[in-house]
Structure 1
Amino acid sequence: MNAILDFFEQMPVWMKAGWVIFCITLFWILEGNYSLFTKPYRKWRHARTNLILLIFVLLINTVFGLATAGIFSWLGDNNFGLLNLVDWPVAAELILAILVLDLIAQYGVHYLLHQVPWMWRLHLVHHSDKHVDATSGTRHHPFDFLIREIFALIAVVITGMPISFYFFYRILTIFFTYWTHANLRLPLKLDKGLSWVFVTPNMHKFHHHYQLPWTDSNYGNMFAIWDRLFGTFVYGNPQEIQYGVDIADHRPDEDLAVQLKLPFDSGVKSKGSRS
């Protein structure tokens, strides 16, 4: 186990970037052959907008990498965090760290992005996508992603985890991010069965439905247990899903400039006006 974690801790930047490219490419190919929805759209033009937003995400990741290194150094020097209060096997501590990260840095912050009005306006960019596919996974307004990174660091401080745990988790989240957004058609029984524990493509697509109450549900990224535990889990008929978001459907979702300005667009109704 230690050797595996050492690998992730020492993984070079080019390999991490390669993992992102691999996951996008893998699910791009799979969704082309096993599509949940076959409605035609300009796939490459759609991807261009989302991939440019991905570049912003990667740049923020790079900047936060410096802050992250400083925090891990401080944690190591001060023995701060929950994991420093226990002496468990490495595998058990890793599982605890992953669960806390997934709860705070994914489910928790995602819930707030929907419930806090000014945060919701930033998150609109992710939901304005009218053709959700693999490239939609990292379609985030830069300020939206900045908030997510801050919550990830909060989870790191709470647990006091080693940096190898954090890198291992990030590799897992990349896979799940593209897996859950991919336009994939799984056998219904398989998708439903997996969704008892993990977030699945169908499960997450209900979250991208254009109207409440489905929009405010299924917040998880890796584990579905949080949505089940906190009463935010839904699973309906996938054929009823319509992508987009009701209060911004009148804005072009493939225009990068429009999307970057969307949170500050006075023509877009507020959270309280949602139907």
Structure 2
Amino acid sequence: MEAIYNYFETIPTLHRSLILVGGIAFFWIVESIIPMFRFGYKKWRHAGINFFFTLTTILVNFPLAFLLLKTSDWTQVNHFGVLQWLDMPLWADLLVGLMLMDLIGAYTAHLVEHKTKVLWGFHLVHHTDQEIDTTTANRHHPGESIIRFAFTALATFIVGAPVALIMLYQSLSVVLSQFNHANFALPKGLDTALSYVIVSPDMHKVHHHYQLPYTDSNYGNIFSIWDRLFGTYMSLPNADLKYGVDTHMERENHYGLGRMLKIPFEKYKGPGSEI
């Protein structure tokens, strides 16, 4: 456990990049061999849209990473945060810290985006994808990248997260998101078993169904416990899934970059409502 902690405390930028690229490459290959849905789309063209948003996310987060590290350093120096107030062994620090980072930085951020009209506009771009695959995991409007960063910084502050925990959390968050968006289906028994611990592919894909109430469910990213604990868990057979969001089903909302960048600044009521 100490070796894992030390690795993520000083993880090279190259290794972080390999985690991002390696995850996409691996799940891309798997979903190409055994796709759950045969979309009949031009996979590279679809990926190009999502890779554009991957790049904007990187460009937004790169300069903001300095603030995240400064927040972490402050909590360590001033002994502030949950982990600083509890006397636990290293494995418990990592587990509890990881769960709290996921709760605040992912589940809560995601829930708030769905329940707040202004924030939903930015997150809606993620939901306009009607051909969900592993590249969809990184499809986030630049404005949403800033929103997500704010929640990650808040989580770091509340948890009192050391750098090693932040790097571990972000690495797992990226890989799990690529995993549960990938266009393949695990054996149903395995998927169900996994869904009691982590967010499985079948569990997350329900969140991408185009209509309420399913759009407002299954907010988790790493751990599934939060949806089950807070009553936001829902299930739906894969055969009944239809991806997208019912207010923005036109093709331009799915493939038009210019149009997608403007979506957050238009007037609408929220997911599942009339414009």
| Cross-structure match for 2:189 | 189
| Cross-structure match for 2:269 | 270
| Cross-structure match for 2:206 | 206
RMSD: 1.3
CA distance in 2, matches of 1:22, 1:274: 38
The amino acid that maps onto 2:83 is: L
Alignment of 1:7-22 (within 5 A): 7-22=7-22
Offset, 1:273: 6.5
Alignment check: 8 A CA contact 1:210 1:245 kept: yes
In the alignment, structure 2 segments of 5+ residues that lack a partner are none
| Cross-structure match for 1:259 | 260
- Secondary structure, aligned partner of 2:38: coil
- Extract structure 1 runs of 4+ deviating beyond 4 A: none
Percentage of pairs with the same residue = 39
| Cross-structure match for 2:109 | 109
Offset, 1:177: 0.8
Alignment check: 8 A CA contact 1:134 1:183 kept: yes
| Cross-structure match for 2:58 | 58
CA distance in 1, matches of 2:271, 2:160: 38
- Secondary structure, aligned partner of 1:218: coil
Q: Matched residue pairs, number?
A: 273
Q: Is the deviation greater in 257-266 or in 221-230? A: 257-266
- Secondary structure, aligned partner of 1:243: coil
Question: TM-score, normalising length from structure 2?
Answer: 0.96
- Secondary structure, aligned partner of 1:246: coil
Alignment check: 8 A CA contact 2:203 2:235 kept: yes
CA distance in 2, matches of 1:245, 1:144: 17
| Cross-structure match for 2:79 | 79
The answer to whether 1:24 aligns with 2:24 is: yes
CA distance in 2, matches of 1:80, 1:31: 44
Tell me the alpha carbon deviations over residues 177-201 of structure 1, each in whole angstroms, 9 at most, x when there is no partner: 1001000121112111211111011
Offset, 1:265: 3.0
Offset, 1:251: 4.9
Tell me the alpha carbon deviations over residues 88-131 of structure 1, each in whole angstroms, 9 at most, x when there is no partner: 10000111101111111111110011111111111110000010
Alignment check: 8 A CA contact 2:126 2:140 kept: yes
CA distance in 2, matches of 1:7, 1:55: 26
Tell me the alpha carbon deviations over residues 116-148 of structure 1, each in whole angstroms, 9 at most, x when there is no partner: 111111111000001010000010011112111
CA distance in 2, matches of 1:13, 1:117: 35
The amino acid that maps onto 1:192 is: T
Offset, 1:76: 2.0
Alignment check: 8 A CA contact 1:251 1:258 kept: no
- Secondary structure, aligned partner of 2:255: coil
- Secondary structure, aligned partner of 1:198: coil
The answer to whether 1:249 aligns with 2:249 is: yes
CA distance in 2, matches of 1:103, 1:131: 27
CA distance in 2, matches of 1:58, 1:274: 32
Tell me the alpha carbon deviations over residues 187-238 of structure 1, each in whole angstroms, 9 at most, x when there is no partner: 1121112111110111111100110011000000011111111111111211
In the alignment, structure 1 segments of 5+ residues that lack a partner are none
Offset, 1:12: 1.2
* CA shift in 2, pair 1:272/1:164, >3 Å: closer
| Cross-structure match for 2:70 | 70
Alignment of 1:112-191 (within 5 A): 112-191=112-191
CA distance in 1, matches of 2:271, 2:123: 15
